[in-house]
Amino acid sequence: MSITIKINGEQRTVDADPDTPLLWVVRDYLGMTGTKFGCGIMQCGACTMHIDGVATRTCMFPLSSLEDKEVTTIEGLGKDGLHPLQEAWVKNNVPQCGYCQSGMLMAASALLATNPDPSDEEIEQAVSNLCRCGTYHRVKATIKEVAAAQKG
C-alpha cells in the first residue's frame, strides 16, 4: 500500500506491505537506521520511536495503523542541535556499544516531555529498555541530572 506519513516533521510517502512494522518501514524503506532492531517482540525497546509524542516500540506496529499519526525517530529528536538528554548523554559518557541507546533516549525524552520531575520508579518504569552492556546506572543518573537542570 502507498501511505503518506509525517516523520520528523516531513511528509514521506512509502509503498510497502500494510503489515510491515514501522521499524522496518523507517529503516529499510526510508533509510533511517538510527532506530534499532533488537528482538521483534516489543521486549527490548531498541526500536522505540515517538508516535504522537508517545514512546512506542515499533517492531510490531504495522504501517496500516499509522494513518494521521506523527512519528519522531532518534534522527529527529534534536530539533536545533542536540536534545538536552543527548548532550548530557555525551557529557556523562553513557553509551558503551551504543546499540540500545537510541531507544533509551526516545523513551527518556518522552518521559521528560510529560513528567519533568520523575521519581526513580517513574524513570525505571518508563525507560525499561534492555541494555546488555550495563549502562543502567549512568542512564538513570543522566535523566535525573537533565530533569534537575530543566527545573532550574
Partner 1 sequence: MLTEQKLTRRNLLLSSFAIAGGFALSVKVPAIGAAAKFPTVGTPFPGLTLPEDFSAWLAILEDDTVVVRSPMPEIGNGVLTQVGMTIAEELRCDITKLAPEFTSPERDAMDNGVFTNAVTSSSLAFFCGRSTDALRTKAMLQAGASARERLKAAAADEWGVPVAEVTAENSVLSHKSGKKLRFGEVAAAAAKIELDAEPELKPESEWTILGKTEPGKIQNEQIVQGQIVYGIDVILPGMKYAALMQCPVQGGKLVSYDESAIKDMPGNPKVIVVDPTEKRIDPLIPPAYGPMAWPMWGVAVVADHYWQARKALEALPIEWDPGDGAKWTDDATLKEYAFSRIESGEIEPTVTIGDQTAIDSGEVISAEYFTPYCDNAMLEPLNGTALVTDDSVDFWFSMQNQGQYWSVVSQEAEMAPENTRLHQTFVGGAFGRHNWGDEGYMITAVAKKMKGTPVHVIWSREETFAQGRYRDAMASKLSAVLGKDGYPVAIKAESVAGPLAGYYQHPMLMGLIPNATAGWENINTHILTGPYRGPGYNSASFMIESFTDELAAAAGIDPLEYRLKLYSKWVDPGWVKVLETVKEKAEWGKKLPEGQAQGVAICNWAADLQAEPPFFGSTIACVAHVEVTKDGKLTVHSLDVAFDLGKVMNKDAVLAQLQGGTLFGYNMSMNEGLTLNNGAFVETNFDKYPVFRMGDVPEVNIHFEGLSGDDRFSETGEVGVGPVGPAIANAIFAATGKRVRETPFRNADLSWS
Q: Which three cell numbers, joined as nine digits, stand for 127?
A: 525507560
Strands 70-72 and 2-7: parallel
Should residue 90 be labelled a site residue for partner 1 when binding is judged by CB under 8 A?
A: yes
Options 54, 133, 148, 149; binder of partner 1; rule CB under 8 A: 133
Q: Which three cell numbers, joined as nine digits, stand for 34?
A: 538510527
Helix or strand holding residue 143 (H, E): helix 136-151
Should residue 29 be labelled a site residue for partner 1 when binding is judged by CB under 8 A?
A: yes
What mask, x for binding partner 1 by CB under 8 A, covers residues 41 to 60? x-xx-x--------------
3-state secondary structure of 122: helix
Residues forming contacts to partner 1 in the complex (CB under 8 A) are: 16-17, 19-21, 24, 28-29, 31-41, 43-44, 46, 73-75, 77-78, 82, 86, 89-102, 105, 121, 123-125, 127-140
